[in-house]
Amino acid sequence: MDVKIEESWKKQLAPEFEKPYFKQLTDFVREEYRKHRIYPPGSLIFNAFNLCPFDSTKVIIIGQDPYHGPGQAHGLCFSVNDNVPLPPSLVNIFKEIHDDLGKPVPATGNLTRWAAQGVLLLNATLTVREHQAGSHQRHGWEEFTDAAIRCLAQEKEHLVFLLWGAYAQKKGAFIDRNKHLVLTSAHPSPLSAHNGFFGNKHFSQANHYLIAHHQSPIDW
């Protein structure tokens, strides 16, 4: 199957595109876009991969589901388009960056600038029906994104995985902690941020690790 995705990822994930589950997933997603309002726009489903090639990836942040409100999702977890109000979890992420690194809170929630530096902003599920959180879960996306994480964990060394909340931690449970830095904490959601997300200092820890392994730090 010819999937429109960045070339280095296309090479890594080629076996997935030929598996029965991916054909079923493609059929399901195509039908959903035909019948319903789905986010993100079809051209941005693989935006996380297209903006952060496999060979450039240094940090992986795992989210769960795209935003399901109009104009928010653009294929990067936690990120929203320019001129869209900051979602609560992203407000808390920026607050932690400010407390950790002293950086001012940006005016935009568009995290494309992180992706350009090698941060893979990967949701476990890459599509969602408008106003129906979780509506595209358990249709094959999780298997596909597991494969992407496995490729990174097996083929590369000294990556940083930021696993916020129980869902992301379970998804990243197989990652070799001797080969990569795996940082875990509560989720940045207002429901849980005060239970360990605030004060986790993941952003400075990630940069210290990258520098220690001769890689450029992320300008968060």
Catalytic amino acids? Answer: 65
User: Identity (one letter) of the amino acid at 96?
Assistant: E
| 8 A C-beta contact, residue 25 and residue 46 | no
Residue 128's beta-bridge partner residues?
A: 39
Q: Is the bond into 85 cis (omega within 30 degrees of 0)?
A: no
CB neighbour list of residue 115: distance below 8 Å, 6 or more residues apart: 48, 51, 52, 76, 121
Phi/psi at 175 (5° precision):
-70, 135
- What gap in Å lies between CA 6 and CA 23, rounded to an integer? 19
| Spatial distance between the Cα atoms of 128 and 117, rounded to a whole number of angstroms | 27
β pairing state of 38-39 and 181-185: unpaired
